Structure 1
């Protein structure tokens, strides 16, 4: 919780380094960098990655989501960290979701590449987040009406995310918690917390306590999660590219 309950949930993003599973994820910011958690991170828009028009416009609810769901894309752990690759990834995901799954548009609201580039996913996502409302996606079966999904490029069953992806994920979660006035320690969850899936991978899932702490630190909070290392899910990993588990069911309000 914030140090002073009368203060808004805001803070400063300060440099810190994460060492996870033997992989140095790197500082959250450069040695002299300071940024406000409430400032929207750079998001590459659908126009910038040349998205196709959705089959129908996204459903917008006049309320905020209450959880942020962390996913992995269940795609190769690419070593191409360029912006061009990131934008192409967004196009590939949209094609798969619309053409193979038969959905109206990209399922998730936001996507982060292994190079640390953050992209808008479902149509109207940026506009609606900034309005503190909820654009309904298709990423977590039965829970899409109250959750915002972040797809992280790669497969994290045995590998850790890149430092660039991790830093962007921390900042993005902090920004979303600031916009929606959420507590990172309760709001940030993994796909497997809702559905029977290994997503976001055993390694990335084990990092969620650290993600919550670092996002909270960005917001000026100092409460730390008790050290824990969640074990493997026991569930099989992705069967094919972009298979991260149950995302949409007959009771969900949108495709």
Structure 2
């Protein structure tokens, strides 16, 4: 893979998508060198067939201050297609609206285990592109107006995230940090702000220092 610098990375933020698939090499140089594997779009709510929200999502007229990492805890599946990722997004929205009583999907973005990234709550993708405002979420009490929530498919209490999921998570965090001016040190797990949850699972939570390091390496 060919190393890319910060400017090359950020040139991927254009049109309907952002630069995804940015991972780091495995081993000693993992925190020092970023590589681009693909330029992929984040699928919008329209792309994956979202229901209309039950109300108007609240616009917060200031940039996000941090990122919160979550896991879905839903049963895993061997299906790694884009269509399965879209089904996941619809299942999450149905759960959040019909069971939780929320107006829309709670998190801002969803990451499938195959690395497909999708908009969660309506308006989150346009807000990310603008970089000067965010949509109020429903992913963590006290943080919904200041933190971007990223939901990762799977249960990471006992297993490590897949390479594809990890790379897309790094990529999305890089873009969120760049667009909103969020330092890589402000990437946290759900449990950091809600003591009653084990989210995003012990294994993924233990990888957050690595996540911060890899994101910081790309941002320079």
Whether these two folds match at TM > 0.5 is yes
C-alpha spacing 1:15/1:87, structure 2 compared with 1 (3 Å): closer
Do 1:70 and 1:151's aligned partners in 2 also have CA atoms closer than 8 Å?
Answer: yes
Give matches, 1:1-255, under 5 Å: 10-11=6-7, 16-18=24-26, 29=35, 33=36, 42-132=41-131, 133-184=133-184, 186-196=185-195, 197-220=197-220
SS in 2 for 1:48: helix
Do 2:66 and 2:146's aligned partners in 1 also have CA atoms closer than 8 Å?
Answer: yes
**How many Å separate the matches in 2 of 1:119 and 1:188?**
19
Q: TM-score under structure 1 normalisation?
A: 0.73
Alpha-carbon distance, 1:15 to partner: 6.1
**How many Å separate the matches in 1 of 2:172 and 2:198?**
23
Alpha-carbon distance, 1:12 to partner: 5.0
**How many Å separate the matches in 2 of 1:34 and 1:166?**
13
Do 2:23 and 2:171's aligned partners in 1 also have CA atoms closer than 8 Å?
Answer: no
Q: TM-score under structure 2 normalisation?
A: 0.84
Do 1:78 and 1:114's aligned partners in 2 also have CA atoms closer than 8 Å?
Answer: no
Unaligned runs of 5+ in 2: 1-5, 10-21, 28-32
**How many Å separate the matches in 2 of 1:119 and 1:64?**
20
Do 1:12 and 1:218's aligned partners in 2 also have CA atoms closer than 8 Å?
Answer: no
Do 1:69 and 1:149's aligned partners in 2 also have CA atoms closer than 8 Å?
Answer: yes
SS in 2 for 1:43: coil
- Give every structure 1 segment of 4 or more consecutive aligned residues whose post-TM-superposition deviation is greater than 4 Å: 10-15
**How many Å separate the matches in 2 of 1:70 and 1:187?**
11
**How many Å separate the matches in 1 of 2:46 and 2:138?**
20
Alpha-carbon distance, 1:120 to partner: 0.4
Alpha-carbon distance, 1:34 to partner: 7.1
Residue-by-residue CA offset, 1:92-144 (whole Å, 9 max, x unaligned): 00000000111100000000000100000001111111121110000011211
SS in 2 for 1:44: coil
Alpha-carbon distance, 1:219 to partner: 1.1
SS in 1 for 2:47: coil
Do 1:63 and 1:134's aligned partners in 2 also have CA atoms closer than 8 Å?
Answer: yes
SS in 1 for 2:85: helix
